[in-house]
Copies of this chain bind each other. A is one copy, B any other.
Amino acid sequence: MSYKSDIEIAREANKKPIQDIGAKLGIGTEHLLPYGHDKAKISQPFINGLKDRDNGKLILVTAINPTPAGEGKTTTTVGLGDGLNRIGKSAAICIREASLGPCFGMKGGAAGGGYAQVVPMEEMNLHFTGDFHAITSAHNLLSAMIDNHIYWGNDLEIDERRIVWRRVMDMNDRALREVVVGLGGVSNGFPRQGGFDITVASEVMAILCLAVDLKDLQKRLGDIIVAYRRDRSPIYARDIKADGAMTVLLKDAMQPNLVQTLENNPAFVHGGPFANIAHGCNSVIATTTALKLADYVVTEAGFGADLGAEKFMNIKCRKAGIAPDAVVIVATVRAMKMNGGVAKADLGAENVEAVELGCPNLGQHIANVKSFGVPVVVAINHFVTDTEAEIQAVKDYVDSQGSEAILCQHWEKGSAGTEELATRVAELADSGLSQFAPLYPDDMPLFEKVETIAKRIYRADEVLADQKIRDQLHAWEQAGYGHLPICMAKTQYSFSTDPNLRGAPTGHSVPVREVRLSAGAGFVVVICGEIMTMPGLPRVPSAEAIMLNDAGQIEGLF
Assembly CA distance A140 to B170 (angstroms): 9
A156 within 8 A of B: no
Cβ-defined contact, B171 with A141, below 8 A? yes
User: How many monomers of this chain does the complex have?
Assistant: 2
Chain B residues with Cβ under 8 A from A171's Cβ?
137, 140-141, 144
Task: Indicate with 1 or 0, residue by residue over A527-558, a CB within 8 angstroms of chain B CB atoms.
Answer: 00000000011010101111110001010110
Chain B residues with Cβ under 8 A from A35's Cβ?
34-36
Minimum C-beta distance from A151 to chain B (A): 7
Chain B residues with Cβ under 8 A from A37's Cβ?
33-34
Chain B residues with Cβ under 8 A from A177's Cβ?
183-184, 188
Assembly CA distance A193 to B548 (angstroms): 33
Cβ-defined contact, B184 with A172, below 8 A? no
Cβ-defined contact, B247 with A148, below 8 A? no
Cβ-defined contact, A145 with B541, below 8 A? yes
A162 within 8 A of B: no
Q: Which of A244-302 contact B (CB under 8 A)?
A: 244-245, 247-249, 251-252
Known A33-B37, A148-B536, A547-B245; contact A188-B169, beta-carbon cutoff 8 A: no
Q: Which of A132-183 contact B (CB under 8 A)?
A: 133-134, 136-137, 140-141, 143-145, 147-148, 151-152, 167, 169-183
Chain B residues with Cβ under 8 A from A249's Cβ?
126-127
Assembly CA distance A182 to B180 (angstroms): 9
Chain B residues with Cβ under 8 A from A218's Cβ?
547-548
Cβ-defined contact, B179 with A181, below 8 A? yes
- Closest-by-CB residue of B relative to A189 is B175
**How many residues on chain A are close to B (CB under 8 Å)?**
73
Q: Which of A16-40 contact B (CB under 8 A)?
A: 33-37
Cβ-defined contact, A143 with B173, below 8 A? yes
A107 within 8 A of B: no
Q: Looking at the complex, which one of B181, B242, B248, B557 makes contact with A557 (CB distance below 8 Å)?
A: B248
Ordered nearest first, which 9 A-B pairs have the shortest CB separation?
Answer: A244-B547, A178-B184, A133-B133, A144-B173, A245-B543, A147-B175, A241-B544, A178-B183, A245-B546
Task: Please name 8 pairs of A and B residues whose Cβ atoms are closer than 8 Å in the assembled complex, sorted by A.
Answer: A137-B170, A144-B172, A145-B543, A179-B179, A179-B183, A184-B195, A244-B544, A245-B547
Q: A34-B36, A147-B174, A148-B174 are in contact. List 13 more A-B contacts (CB 8 A).
A: A34-B35, A100-B137, A104-B144, A127-B130, A141-B171, A145-B543, A175-B188, A175-B194, A176-B181, A179-B181, A218-B548, A243-B547, A244-B548
> A residues near B, CB below 8 A?
33-37, 44, 100, 104, 126-127, 130, 133-134, 136-137, 140-141, 143-145, 147-148, 151-152, 167, 169-184, 187-189, 193-195, 214, 218, 241-245, 247-249, 251-252, 536-537, 539, 541, 543-548, 552, 554, 556-557
